[in-house]
Amino acid sequence: MYDRRALEIIEQRLGLGCARLGSVLGVRGPTAAVLVATAFEQGIRFFDTASIYGQGDSERILGQALHSVRQHVMVVSKAGQYFPRGTSFAKPFKRVLSPLSGRCGLGRHIVAKARAAALPQDFSPSFLRTSTEGSLRRLKFDYLDILLLHSPPLDVIEQGDAIHFLETLRDEGKARMIGISCDDVDCGLLALRDKRIQVIELPLWPWTDRSDHFAECALRQGVYVVARGLIGGALGAAPPDGPHRAQLLRGIVRSSLALSGISRLIIGTTRTEHLKEILDALRGREDSTCT
């Protein structure tokens, strides 16, 4: 029998990271739809995306998959980054490139290198509005539960104009909560100085004393903290198999959730079986691989 507390944790504390929905190295079509549907069926009610993920396809997939349950989920999107004009030519060929990249090591390397490159940014009011309204169209939603600036530099955070415009978008009903998606703890600590910020997303791994300081400050200020990077960090060190894998997975997820001040923990995966394994381990189903 499932641990009732574990079911509450999944619904109230976990989320699905959707960075690779619709991407060349991610999942597309029916496979992506099944992943989102499975996450919802397993209790996840929080989905994290961005305007650039899958060149917009991540939002399209989420919007279609969650349309009938919109009132029961929270969806986060981000604005402020964009793809250079020259990269848009590849979008129509993603269905061809995706299987080729999966079979070819060189292809995966090229795509991964392109993804790792820094993207241009624009935090002007006109761009933020265009980006946010584009996200809503792709999702086919009336509003975003959370709207974040996507990895702004420190000077943009200090200046505060971009957050001021997110307030405008929130006042217009396009978002319920606003904040910043940060790339490191220093960015998060700076963001905490701006009392208009309601949500901060940042990497979980590695967790340091400065991370503890950030989380404690965020908790005192009532800031909603979303932690990402669980799969590539702590879970990345877990053995791929073995009799104690489920127990280890459960310990890693629960210890991560126990860190001070974390409101949501993002699980970023493109594999339905991987997602179910983590959730079953958290619920105490150590025989999940046999079901």
* pLDDT tens digits, 190-213: 999 999 999 999 999 888 999 999
Instruction: Give residues with Cβ within 8 angstroms of 96, minimum separation 6.
Output: none
C-alpha span between 236 and 208 (Å, rounded): 18
In a domain, 283, yes or no: yes
C-alpha span between 231 and 110 (Å, rounded): 22
Per-residue model confidence (pLDDT) at position 286:
45
Per-residue model confidence (pLDDT) at position 115:
56
Give the model's confidence band at 249: pLDDT under 50 very low, under 70 low, under 90 confident, else very high: confident
Domain containing 12: what range? 4-83+119-290
In a domain, 91, yes or no: no
Q: What percent of the chain has pLDDT over 90?
A: 68
Per-residue model confidence (pLDDT) at position 288:
41
For residues 177-197, give the mean pLDDT: 98
In a domain, 249, yes or no: yes
For residues 100-107, give the mean pLDDT: 54
Question: Per mean pLDDT, which range of 62-71, 98-107, 208-217 is the poorest?
Answer: 98-107
Structure tokens at 160: 């505060």
In a domain, 193, yes or no: yes
Winning range, highest mean pLDDT, from 53-57, 84-88, 114-118:
53-57
C-alpha span between 192 and 152 (Å, rounded): 14
Q: What percent of the chain has pLDDT over 70?
A: 82
Residue 149 pLDDT more than 80?
yes
Winning range, highest mean pLDDT, from 116-120, 162-166, 245-249:
162-166
For residues 28-47, give the mean pLDDT: 96
Per-residue model confidence (pLDDT) at position 230:
84
More confident residue, 251 or 199: 199
In a domain, 112, yes or no: no
Instruction: Give residues with Cβ within 8 angstroms of 256, minimum separation 6.
Output: 204, 227, 230, 234, 262, 265
In a domain, 266, yes or no: yes
User: Any idea what the CATH number is for the domain that residue 48 is in?
Assistant: 3.20.20.100
Q: How far is CA 105 from the centre of its chain?
A: 26
Per-residue model confidence (pLDDT) at position 104:
60
* pLDDT tens digits, 114-134: 556 689 999 999 999 999 999
How many domains in the chain? 1
In a domain, 58, yes or no: yes
More confident residue, 276 or 289: 276
Residue 110 pLDDT more than 70?
no
Q: Please, what's the b/e burial string for 121-160 (b: 16 or more CB within 10 A of its CB; e: otherwise)?
A: bebeeebbbebbeebbebbebebbbbbbbbbbeeebbeee
Are 148 and 53 within 8 A, CB to CB?
Answer: no
In a domain, 104, yes or no: no
Mean pLDDT score across all residues of the chain: 88
